[in-house]
Amino acid sequence: MLFGKRAQRDAFERQAERVFPSVFGTALRLTRSREEAEDLAQEAMVRAYEAFDRFDGTNFKAWMLRIVTNLYINKYRQRQRGPQMGSLEEDNILEPMAEAAELPDRQVFDEMVGAEVEEALGKLPEDFRVAVLLSDVEGLAYQEIAEITDVPIGTVRSRIARGRALLRKFLLDYALMEGYVKPGNQE
């Protein structure tokens, strides 16, 4: 029995160590605070460790991201500042379709550095941010994101499209500010 537990811990640690950067990165991008991200990531790992015998063995990374996202939603979200999801999507204020003229120059995305992208990501409304993060940063499929966030797959598709459109706007603002593109020369 003791050997079984030792082996179980080893198995958990092997998988957890591989996905921990993703878990921590997601926690950091959700909370936007390193201290809170450490608490969130560690609590998620502890919960996962305690529930490891209930893991179905299919996709450990998705399982971990589900834990960290749900934990954030249930525990940390109330304390967070900044934009919240709701009005943008429900009132249809945000237009997901970018006009061709608004499309950024190809060079823009190559010139962007991590800090600028992270800051733009941080400005996204929360539900858009979660969807874009899980899709584009963590590489999860729509179905997995739908299960993690507990919304229909159509809502995931919509949030990703709208989140990306808004992120593109923020990135373009940066590009204009930093001189990567000039006004009127964004195509």
Partner 1 sequence: MIDVELLHAYVDGELTADERAQVEAAVRTQPSLALQIDAIRRQKELLGRLPEVECADSWAACRARFTEIDKTKRIEGFVGRYAWAMCAFVLCTIFVGAMLRRANPNAVRTGQVAAAVSGLSFPFPSADSKRALANSQVPEERNVATLGQIAIVGMAELESDGKLMRCVKLRDAVGTFDFVIVYGAAKIEAENTAEDGYLRGQANSQNCIAWWREGAAFFLMAPNRTHEELIAIAGMIH
List interacting residues with partner 1 (CB under 8 A).
Answer: 5, 9, 12-13, 16-17, 20-21, 24-25, 28, 38, 41-42, 45-46, 49-50, 96-98, 100, 103-104, 106, 109-110, 112, 114, 117-118, 121, 132-133, 135-137, 139, 141-142, 157-158, 160-161, 164-165, 167-168, 171
Taking the least distance from each CB to partner 1, the nearer of 55 and 142 is 142
d(CA 121, CA 172) in angstroms, rounded, equals 13
Here the tokens at position 24 are 């921590």
CB 77 within 8 A of CB 126: yes
180 DSSP assignment? S
Taking the least distance from each CB to partner 1, the nearer of 85 and 166 is 166
Alpha helices in the chain (DSSP H): 2-31, 34-50, 60-71, 87-90, 106-111, 114-122, 126-132, 142-149, 153-178
Q: Supply the minimum distance, in Å, between the C-beta of residue 180 and partner 1.
A: 12
Q: Supply the minimum distance, in Å, between the C-beta of residue 58 and partner 1.
A: 19
Q: Supply the minimum distance, in Å, between the C-beta of residue 72 and partner 1.
A: 15
d(CA 179, CA 163) in angstroms, rounded, equals 24
Taking the least distance from each CB to partner 1, the nearer of 16 and 65 is 16
